[in-house]
Amino acid sequence: HYQGPASAPGTDHDPARDATTLPLLRAAIAAGVPVLGICRGFQEMNVAFGGSLHQKVHELPGMLDHREADHPELAVQYAPAHAVTVQPGGVFEALELPAEFMVNSIHSQGIDRLAPGLRCEAVAPDGLIEAISVDHSPTFAVGVQWHPEWQVLSNPPYLSIFQAFGDACRQRAALRKKR
């Protein structure tokens, strides 16, 4: 589905998940359901709208190794790994996130070609897209490559993303209640 070369032998696939999530993402966003895609969900958003993925970002010339630290402790695996730079004029700027902030990084795949209708919200130092939004979405529709749920209460940018998502969910619930 990700419009790239065939997966390496032994790569795990989940066709049932793909058959569910890819059309569901498109339908939810079209229906005005708030969406926050995290890690694979971020990648699924790009694929659902026609974008492509790199299978192994760490093998590409000039790219960072975005995989988690090889360490048994979650605090080390999910520790801040690199900065992201917020792109002007988007959802993140409207949320007043800092122009640059640190994120964790525990992925090997990443966006190759951004899907039509998606907007880059933030990039890593190597230029890899780390956050996206859906242009012209009637509600909050954002994806992030990192895991903002990790220690969210002690990380203001992460918390702002979840608060915006929560606000959009409450607005959606209030609208449905009025019907």
Query: In the annotation, is 39 catalytic?
Result: yes
Cα(51)–Cα(162) distance, integer angstroms: 25
Among residues 54, 66, 107, 147, the one annotated as catalytic is 147
Among residues 1, 82, 93, 149, the one annotated as catalytic is 149
DSSP secondary-structure letter at 155? -
* Burial class for 175, CB neighbours closer than 10 Å (0-12, 13-18, 19+): exposed
Among residues 39, 44, 107, 130, the one annotated as catalytic is 39
Cα dihedral across residues 139, 107, 112, 88: positive or negative? positive
Which residues does 152 contact at the CB level (< 8 Å), separation at least 6?
158, 159, 162
Is the CB of residue 122 less than 8 Å from the CB of residue 87? Answer: yes
Q: Which residues pair with 142 in a beta bridge?
A: 36, 133
Query: In the annotation, is 169 catalytic?
Result: no
Q: Which residues pair with 38 in a beta bridge?
A: 144
Query: In the annotation, is 96 catalytic?
Result: no
DSSP secondary-structure letter at 74? H
List the catalytic residues. 39, 147, 149
